[in-house]
A and B are shown apart, each in its own frame.
Chain A
C-alpha cells in the first residue's frame, strides 16, 4: 500500500514544563510506562498506519533521543525508501539562535517535505501517550473535505498552556483560545497534532514565515479559522498528555488501571520501543508486590505497592516503595522507604533513607543522584 502521509514530530515543545525530568533530555524522550519513551507512542501510531517518512525536529538535549532512536530499526523505520530522519537543532539566522517556533522549523524542512512523495503531513508534539489509528484520521480528513484536521481530547486538566477548542455542529472549529478563570469542568483541548495537505502546509508556512510569524497555533491555526475549513477530530480513547510533573505522575498511575493499559497498549496496534535484551524480572524471597507495573531486569526483594518500576531497578531487602515511579537502573537499597517519589534514571537511595512527596506534588530525584 502506498504511503499517502508523512509525519513531522517535534521532540521538544515550549508547551511542556517537566523541569527536572527534562534537564537531560527532550520531552519526547521522557521515560514512561516502565519501558517506553514518550516518542514511542507517536512513532508506533505512525508506523502502524504506514506513515514511514518521519522527520523528528529537535531543539536541545537531543543525545538521549538519538540514543533511543538510533536508525529507527526498532520501529521498522530503517528503510531504503522513507524511514526516520532526526534533524539536529537548526541554527537559524546570523545571530545563531535556534528556531523560535514551529513555523521556522517547518520552513527549514521545506526541502525535506517537497522531496517526499507523500501528499499529506501529520505534525505532532511527542509528549502524548495514546494508541490511535491515523488511517481513520486520514479518512475523516478526506471525507470532511478539511483543510486542516486538529486532534483534540476532552479533559478536566485545563492549564493555562492548553488551547480550548469550540466547534459548530459539523465539527468545524469556530474558536480556539486560552482558558480563562471562568472555565470549569471538562473542555475539549488541542493536542497539537495536525493533519494537513502538504502543499497547503508549505504555502501557509511560506506565508507566515515571510511575515515574521513563528507560532504555528497562533499564526496559522487561529489566524486561519475563518478562511480555512479546520475540523475537529476528538479522540475518545485514553490519551495521556504529559506537560507537567503532576500530569506525568497522574498519567503514569493511570497505567495501574487495566482498562487504561488495554486502551494504550493493545487497542489498535502494538507500541514499539527500543529492544534492550534485559533479563526477565526476578522476584526474590522477600518480594511483596501489589498493584504495580514491573519491567524486565528488575530484582525485587522488598515491598512494592501502587508503583511503576522501569527496567533493571533493584529493590533491596525490607525496602518499601509506595505510590512511586522508579526509573531505569535505579537502586533502592535495603530498608529504604519511598512514597510519592519519582526517581529519574541511575538514582541510588541508600540504606534506610526515607523520602516522601505528596500525591499532588511528588518528589523528583534528578538523574544520577545518590541520596
Chain B
C-alpha cells in the first residue's frame, strides 16, 4: 500500500461560470460568491468534507479562478493544510503533447486521473461547488460500501410539480437500487432528484472515464454520459436518501431564497449555528459590529466589521458593510464591504460586494407587498456605484 493512500478522496467541480448569476459572477467563479453574511458557497462542500472525515480534496477550477484560488489558499481555515493530503486547486494544465480546457464534468475528472491515482483511493466523492447544504458524506460512503455499490447518488424528494427541473432517479420497487435515470424528464415518474453528489468506486469510475474520453460523441458529462452508460451496463447503482436542507444556488432567485432560509426558524431550514457541524470560512479579524442609537435591526443576520446606523429588516448583512442613517433595508442581501449611504431605500435586492448605494437611492420593490415569493430581485453588481437619488427597478440588474 502506498503510504500516501487514502480510502476516500473528494473532487469538487468548481469550474462553472454560473452565467445565471449575472453580474455576481462576471469576475469570480460561482463557488466564490458570498453567502450568508460571512461565507462563500464553496465553504459548504469544503466544511462537509472535513466534518465527514475527508481530508484530501481536489478543487477543479477553470472559469475566473484567481479569487477562488486566493480564497482557498493553503486550506487552513478548513483545517485542510495537511502534510499528507489536504486541499489542491486543479486548473487545466498543459501536457507533453497536448493540453485543453475541461470539456465537461467527467472530462475534468479524467484529466486528473494521475492526481487521484497518487492517493490510490478506493472511493471518490464527486461534489459541485454551487449547493448549500450540510451532509455527512461518511454516512453516504457507509451505505455505498454496504450495498457493494459501484456508484451511489445522493437524492432528495422534490415536489412532483418541480421534478422536471431535475435529474430524476427511478428506483427498483422496494429498494434503493437505481433502475433508470432521466435528465429533466417532461413526465417524471418519481420525485427522487439527484443532488449532483456522487460516490464512485474509483477502479470502476476510472475505466468509465477512459472509455468515455475515447467516445468522440460523448459530451463528457456525469449526468448525460457516465451515469446513463453505467446504468446501461447494469452496474450496481444506488440512491442515498437525504432529508436535510439542500439548495442549488445557481440563480439569483435561488441564491436570494437560500439566504432568506437562514432567517427562518423551521427545523428543516438552514441552521448554521451548529457546533457539531460547523461551516468554516476564511475570515479577516474584524472588530465586532457597531450598532448606533439611530439603528433598528429586526430579524436579520449581521457579520463583523459592520456599522449599522439605519433600519434593517429580514435581511442578511455581511462583514465590513456600512449602513447610513435613515437608510432602510428590507428582504435584502448586502455583500461584504458594501456602503449604503444615508437615506437609501433597498427592498428585495442583492447588493454586490464593495458596491456603493448613494444617498437616497431607491433599489427594488418599494410598493406594498405583492404576494410572498413573487418578488423580483434587484441586483447591484460588485464594485458598482449607484448614484445619489438613482432608482433601480425591482427586476433590474446593474453592474
Knowing A280-B37, A281-B302, A296-B304, the reply to whether A35 touches B287 (Cβ < 8 A) is yes
Q: Are A273 and B297 in contact (CB under 8 A)?
A: no
Task: Give per-residue flags for A244-279: 1 if the beta carbon is below 8 A from chain B beta carbons, else 0.
Answer: 000000000000101001000100001111010101
Residue of B nearest to A306 (CB): B293
Q: Are B77 and A33 in contact (CB under 8 A)?
A: no
Q: Are A272 and B302 in contact (CB under 8 A)?
A: no
Minimum distance in angstroms from B396 CB to a CB of chain A: 28
Q: Are B283 and A275 in contact (CB under 8 A)?
A: yes
Interface stretch (choices A59-67, A111-119, A287-295): A287-295
Minimum distance in angstroms from B3 CB to a CB of chain A: 24
Contact of B273 among A282, A283, A309 (CB under 8 A): A282
A297 to B287 CA separation, bound complex (whole angstroms): 13
A9 to B272 CA separation, bound complex (whole angstroms): 38
A261 to B322 CA separation, bound complex (whole angstroms): 14
- Interface positions of B from 235 to 287, Cβ below 8 Å from A: 272-273, 278-281, 283-287
Minimum distance in angstroms from B76 CB to a CB of chain A: 7
Q: Are A290 and B77 in contact (CB under 8 A)?
A: no
Q: Are B301 and A287 in contact (CB under 8 A)?
A: no
Minimum distance in angstroms from B331 CB to a CB of chain A: 15
**Residue B299 interfacial (CB < 8 Å):** yes
Contact of B301 among A275, A282, A288, A309 (CB under 8 A): A282
**Residue B290 interfacial (CB < 8 Å):** yes
A292 to B288 CA separation, bound complex (whole angstroms): 10
Knowing A283-B297, A285-B299, the reply to whether A34 touches B291 (Cβ < 8 A) is no
Knowing A275-B283, A279-B273, A280-B36, the reply to whether A294 touches B298 (Cβ < 8 A) is no
Knowing A279-B273, A280-B303, A287-B298, the reply to whether A73 touches B292 (Cβ < 8 A) is no
Q: Are B289 and A294 in contact (CB under 8 A)?
A: yes
Q: How large is the interface on B (under 10, 10 to 19, 20 to 34, 35 or more residues)?
A: 20 to 34
Chain B hits for A17, CB < 8 A: none
Knowing A265-B287, A281-B289, the reply to whether A73 touches B76 (Cβ < 8 A) is yes
Q: Are B288 and A295 in contact (CB under 8 A)?
A: yes
Chain B hits for A299, CB < 8 A: 273
A257 to B298 CA separation, bound complex (whole angstroms): 23
Q: Are B285 and A273 in contact (CB under 8 A)?
A: yes
A35 to B293 CA separation, bound complex (whole angstroms): 21
A73 to B282 CA separation, bound complex (whole angstroms): 13
Chain A hits for B272, CB < 8 A: 279
Minimum distance in angstroms from A253 CB to a CB of chain B: 13
Minimum distance in angstroms from B48 CB to a CB of chain A: 14
Minimum distance in angstroms from B342 CB to a CB of chain A: 15
Q: Are B288 and A296 in contact (CB under 8 A)?
A: yes
Chain B hits for A261, CB < 8 A: 287, 290
A120 to B115 CA separation, bound complex (whole angstroms): 48
**Residue A284 interfacial (CB < 8 Å):** yes
Residue of A nearest to B308 (CB): A289
Q: Are A296 and B303 in contact (CB under 8 A)?
A: yes
Knowing A281-B302, A282-B301, A283-B302, the reply to whether A297 touches B273 (Cβ < 8 A) is yes
Chain A hits for B149, CB < 8 A: none
Knowing A280-B301, A280-B303, A283-B297, the reply to whether A290 touches B287 (Cβ < 8 A) is no
Q: Are B304 and A272 in contact (CB under 8 A)?
A: no
**Residue A215 interfacial (CB < 8 Å):** no
- Interface positions of B from 49 to 77, Cβ below 8 Å from A: 76-77
Knowing A261-B290, A275-B77, the reply to whether A281 touches B285 (Cβ < 8 A) is no
Chain B hits for A281, CB < 8 A: 289, 301-303
Contact of A280 among B278, B285, B302 (CB under 8 A): B302
Chain A hits for B280, CB < 8 A: 277
A261 to B278 CA separation, bound complex (whole angstroms): 30
A50 to B91 CA separation, bound complex (whole angstroms): 34
Q: Are B298 and A295 in contact (CB under 8 A)?
A: no
Contact of B288 among A74, A287, A293 (CB under 8 A): A293
Chain A hits for B301, CB < 8 A: 279-283
A165 to B343 CA separation, bound complex (whole angstroms): 49
**Residue B6 interfacial (CB < 8 Å):** no
Chain B hits for A287, CB < 8 A: 297-299
Minimum distance in angstroms from B348 CB to a CB of chain A: 19
Chain A hits for B300, CB < 8 A: 282-283
Task: Give per-residue flags for B147-159: 1 if the beta carbon is below 8 A from chain A beta carbons, else 0.
Answer: 0000000000000
A288 to B293 CA separation, bound complex (whole angstroms): 10
**Subset of 16 A-B contacts with CB under 8 Å:** A34-B288, A35-B304, A261-B287, A270-B284, A275-B77, A280-B36, A280-B301, A283-B298, A283-B299, A284-B298, A284-B299, A285-B298, A291-B293, A293-B290, A295-B288, A299-B273
| New A-B pairs, 5, CB < 8 Å, besides A270-B286, A284-B298 | A277-B278, A280-B36, A282-B300, A289-B295, A290-B292
